[in-house]
Structure 1
Amino acid sequence: MREATADKLHIFIMMFLISLIMSIQAPIFTPYAAMIGASSILIGIMLSVAQLANLIGNLIAGPLVDRFGKRLFITFPLLVSGSLFIFHGLVANTAELLLLRALNGFSLAFLIPAAMALLSGYAENSRQQGKNMAVNGMLATIASIIAPLIGGKLGVMVGYANSYFVIGAALIITSIYTMFFLKDRQAVTVNRRNQSLGLIQVLTNPGLHVVFLTGFAVMYIHGVIIYEIPYLSVEKGLSTVTTGKLFSFMAIGTFFSLSLFFINRFAPVKRLIFGLFGMCMTLFALINEWTAALSLLLFLMGFFFGVIMPAMATAVTDAVAREGHGRAFGVMSAVYSLGMIFSSFVTGLIREIISPYFIAFLIGMLVLSFVGYMKLRLPRSAHTKVTTLR
């Protein structure tokens, strides 16, 4: 028992380090790419290509992780990603940076599914499973609060290229840590006599339509924020320290909403509607360039993001029987990636013509209208081997 607790602690440490190191680059990449000569459109393409490669890798990762074990697909991608980040600091042109982003997105696609699968093996029941995932979420949020501050400071102190050397070296050290301390262990053997639901059944499940639509809109909005905030350092001459602080305000808002446990007493679809509406209203304020209140607006954006994400997972488990959870969560991850892909590409394409915040606002409100309509249209209990969507 004590050994299992120590092993789980190593997983938490590893996942915290990964979240911290990966988030450090958030305020660095956009100004670095612009410095090399990338236009706003090309930066959007770079971000989209990374997400597309990640999406393809996610589809491949699942069966490989189950066949060859989780530890291998944690240690090796960390080593590869660390090396690729070091090469980020050595690029001579935008074509090389684009290639590195694609390769890095693909390599990291194996990491998170393997890490989450490894962590899930240390739960004896669903309550422990929820607790483990909640602890991981809190650690990831803490990392996302402090990492942009570190990244912004690092960019000012050592420069963008040297910052990537530091990030790469840190990932390689983390990879070495996993070689010595992570154990590929499955504490619970689950008897699955029922076959998982097929992809068509998941996609045609009316209860999941609400989740997938909301997930796409949320990640589209999130992608616009991730693109636009670092661009302030390019357009308005702000330092990366300032943009790092802005990302931290967003992470603090997410942490605050995750701490309000009473919110979980409300039905997940109601939380999805409330959170998406809040994000849309925050976007409306950003359209009007309320830059004086930018820190507050990003705090609110993070707050509503934190309301939505746990509700999304709960809505999936409510809408699909247990044997279909894996496939449903897989599709949901793919929808998240699609939202990020479209937002990065569209934002880079249109930002010289129209505010990306306005397009994100329109998409959010359109999805919100569909979700409200579908909630009214769906019967109170919709069963397709499924439990009710509250």
Structure 2
Amino acid sequence: MKETTLDQLHIFITMFIISLIMSVQGPIFTPYAAMLGASSVMIGIMLSTSQLASLTGNLIVGPLVDRYGKRLFITLPLLLSGFLYIAHGFTATSTSLLALRSMNSFVLAFLMPAALTFISGYAANRRQQGKNMAIIGILGMIANIVAPLIGGKLGATIGYANTYVVIGSALLFIAIYTMIFLRDRQMLLVNRKTSKPTHFFHVFKSPQLQLVYLTGFAVMYIHGVIIYEIPYLTVEQGISTMNTGQLFSFMAIGTLLSLSLFFIHRFDPINRMMVGLFLMCISLSVFFNGLLSLPIFLFSMGICFGLTMPAAATAVTGAVRKEEHGRAFGVMSAVYSLGMIISSFMTAVIRQIISPYFIAFLVGMCFLTLIGYLKFRTPKSRSIEVERY
């Protein structure tokens, strides 16, 4: 038991450092791309293309994780991504930046499904699963509070290019750490349902997973609008990267607050996702009508993300068997990427015509209506249990 707890600690440390390092680039990518000559539409294409590459990687990695294990698909992407981030610092054109970002997104797409599947092996039931996912979320949000401030400060102090070199070097160090300390452990699960093995695309046929994927798409569409719009303040209004980093920290603080409420894991994860999406839509409505300041809006959106994201991961683990987690998490990550792809492209195209926040509100409400209808028609499925010895 002590050894298992120590192994959990290593994966928690790994995920925290990964979140910290990768979130540092949040405030600097858009101004760096603009500095290299990218227009607002080009930046939108960069974000969409990178998410398309991420989607492709997500779909590929699911079956591979189930077949070959998780540790390989954590360590190898970190190594490759480290070198690609370093290459970001030496690029001279927006076209080469587009190519590097796309390759990097494809590589990193292998990481998250493998990491989520890895940590799912340390839970004996749905409540423990939710607690583990919440801990990962809390650590990620602590990193996201600090990282934008670090990224903004580094960008202003040593320049955008050198910041990317620092990010890449740090990822290489954490890759070495995972080689030494990560150990894959799985608790023995017994499926009490009699069902045939699930093939890759058959996960779409699960009613519970359909609800997760639809909610996840809507949430990530909204998230994509924020990820595009907030850094663009640096370009459009001359706000420093340090200040945009502080704005992202407001969202991270809100997420951290909601993730700290461990008692909410007693409630059904699908219901938690729906409540989170509904509150997102309310926050968007109040914000684009001018009734909410930007920091408070981001704080409230952070709270909503903290409600939905761990709930999504918990719902996935309860809907399929352990040996199918890689496929399910791979598809979930792909759906998230699809939401970001469409969101980034749409935001770049329509932002001069209509508020992207208003369109995000419409998308959220339409999906919430569809999800509520499907949930009403979907019978409750029995979760996969652990047999105690």
Verify same fold: TM over 0.5.
yes
1:181 is aligned to 181
**Residues 63 and 311 from structure 1, CA distance in 2 versus in 1: closer, same or farther, beyond 3 angstroms?**
closer
Structure number with the bigger relative contact order (C-alpha 8 A, sep ≥ 6) is 2
2:93 is aligned to 93
2:223 is aligned to 222
Q: Is the 8 A contact 2:133 2:314 kept in 1?
A: no
**Residues 382 and 71 from structure 1, CA distance in 2 versus in 1: closer, same or farther, beyond 3 angstroms?**
closer
Q: Is the 8 A contact 2:276 2:304 kept in 1?
A: yes
1:78 is aligned to 78
Q: Is the 8 A contact 1:249 1:298 kept in 2?
A: yes
Distance apart, 1:19 and its partner CA: 0.7
**Residues 336 and 155 from structure 1, CA distance in 2 versus in 1: closer, same or farther, beyond 3 angstroms?**
same
Query: What aligned pairs does 1:1-390 form with structure 2 within 5 A after superposition?
Result: 1-123=1-123, 128-183=128-183, 185-190=184-189, 195-198=196-199, 201-289=202-290, 293-316=293-316, 327-376=327-376, 378=377, 381-382=379-380
Counterpart Cα distance in 2 of 1:348 and 1:238: 19
Counterpart Cα distance in 1 of 2:371 and 2:79: 42
**Residues 168 and 295 from structure 1, CA distance in 2 versus in 1: closer, same or farther, beyond 3 angstroms?**
same
**Residues 309 and 325 from structure 1, CA distance in 2 versus in 1: closer, same or farther, beyond 3 angstroms?**
same
Q: Is the 8 A contact 2:113 2:330 kept in 1?
A: no
Q: Is the 8 A contact 1:124 1:187 kept in 2?
A: no
Identity across the alignment (%): 63
**Residues 79 and 314 from structure 1, CA distance in 2 versus in 1: closer, same or farther, beyond 3 angstroms?**
closer
Deviations 1:299-321 (A, max 9, x none): 00111121122333444456557
Counterpart Cα distance in 2 of 1:214 and 1:152: 31
Aligned-CA RMSD value: 2.7
**Residues 131 and 259 from structure 1, CA distance in 2 versus in 1: closer, same or farther, beyond 3 angstroms?**
closer
Counterpart Cα distance in 2 of 1:204 and 1:42: 36
Counterpart Cα distance in 2 of 1:326 and 1:30: 32
Deviations 1:257-278 (A, max 9, x none): 1122343344444433322221
Counterpart Cα distance in 2 of 1:156 and 1:293: 26
Q: Is the 8 A contact 1:223 1:344 kept in 2?
A: yes
Residue identity matched to 2:287:
L
**Residues 99 and 326 from structure 1, CA distance in 2 versus in 1: closer, same or farther, beyond 3 angstroms?**
closer
SS of residue matched to 1:63: helix
Counterpart Cα distance in 2 of 1:346 and 1:238: 23
Deviations 1:284-307 (A, max 9, x none): 2332456x7211110001111211
Deviations 1:191-237 (A, max 9, x none): 67954334565434444433322211110000110110000111111
Residue identity matched to 1:253:
G
**Residues 233 and 275 from structure 1, CA distance in 2 versus in 1: closer, same or farther, beyond 3 angstroms?**
same
Residue identity matched to 2:285:
F
Deviations 1:42-80 (A, max 9, x none): 111111111111111122223333444433322222121
Residue identity matched to 1:186:
R
Counterpart Cα distance in 2 of 1:32 and 1:330: 30
Q: TM-score, normalised by structure 2?
A: 0.88
Deviations 1:69-128 (A, max 9, x none): 433322222121111111111111111000001110111122223333333444566665
Q: Is the 8 A contact 1:16 1:139 kept in 2?
A: yes
Counterpart Cα distance in 1 of 2:207 and 2:363: 20
Q: TM-score, normalised by structure 1?
A: 0.88
**Residues 365 and 122 from structure 1, CA distance in 2 versus in 1: closer, same or farther, beyond 3 angstroms?**
closer
Q: Is the 8 A contact 1:254 1:306 kept in 2?
A: yes
Residue identity matched to 2:214:
L
Counterpart Cα distance in 1 of 2:359 and 2:331: 25
**Residues 188 and 203 from structure 1, CA distance in 2 versus in 1: closer, same or farther, beyond 3 angstroms?**
closer
Say how many residue pairs are matched. Answer: 382
Q: Is the 8 A contact 2:62 2:328 kept in 1?
A: no
**Residues 269 and 59 from structure 1, CA distance in 2 versus in 1: closer, same or farther, beyond 3 angstroms?**
closer
Q: Is the 8 A contact 1:224 1:357 kept in 2?
A: yes
